[in-house]
Amino acid sequence: MDQVIAEARRPVREGMTASSDAAAVVAERAAFWRVLAEDTDRAVILDVDPGPLPVRLPEADLADAVDALLGNVFAHTPDGTPFSVTLRAEPGGGARLVVTDAGSGLPGDDVLARGSSSAGSSGLGLDIVRRSAEASGGGMRVGPGPDGGAQVVVDLGPAEAG
């Protein structure tokens, strides 16, 4: 637990370039989670704009954020619940990541409160995602998805010109 808290508190990994290809990272992490989705009878829609989609976040931090989002889908929805992962290039640079599930929706308005969870988890996953989005110059919002489940929208800032 101490390691999870330390990870949540760090703004950006030191010594690493604050830039990554969001298309490559999201596609790779979604492929990793697809195996579990198949094992739990979940339909997955993956729709990623072709890359590269450079964002101002180290690859490891973006991978952690994607893992937190997809881990939440598995932790908070029953087997068989479909979900989607969409990544779009933003007109001014950067990207928008949207993860939507067809579960029962969010438990309340306090899901973004650090350490708050009604499902027996640490409650740090969405905080990690929010902090990563903000570190990139973007932001995050949560709400109901089109099927009544949860939807998390993560705006990732453009990589700085090198």
Show me where the domains of the chain are located: 2-156
Classify domain 2-156 at the CATH topology level: Heat Shock Protein 90 (3.30.565)
Alpha-carbon distances, residue 25 vs 60, 108, 110, 157 (angstroms): 9, 30, 29, 15
**Residues 13, 110: Cα–Cα separation, whole Å:** 27
- Predicted local confidence at residue 106, as pLDDT: 82
Is the separation of the CB atoms in 21 and 68 below 8 Å? no
Q: What is the pLDDT of residue 131?
A: 95
- pLDDT for position 50: 95
- Report CA torsion sign: 122, 123, 129, 135: negative
pLDDT (tens digit, 0 to 9) for every residue of the chain, 162 residues total? Answer: 455 555 555 554 454 458 999 999 999 999 999 999 999 999 999 999 999 999 999 999 999 999 999 999 999 999 999 999 999 999 999 999 999 999 998 876 555 554 444 555 446 789 999 999 999 999 999 999 998 899 999 999 999 865
The pLDDT, as a whole number, for residue 107 is: 75
- Helices and strands (H and E) in the chain: how many: 4, 7
Residue that is written with structure tokens 């990541």 in the block: 97
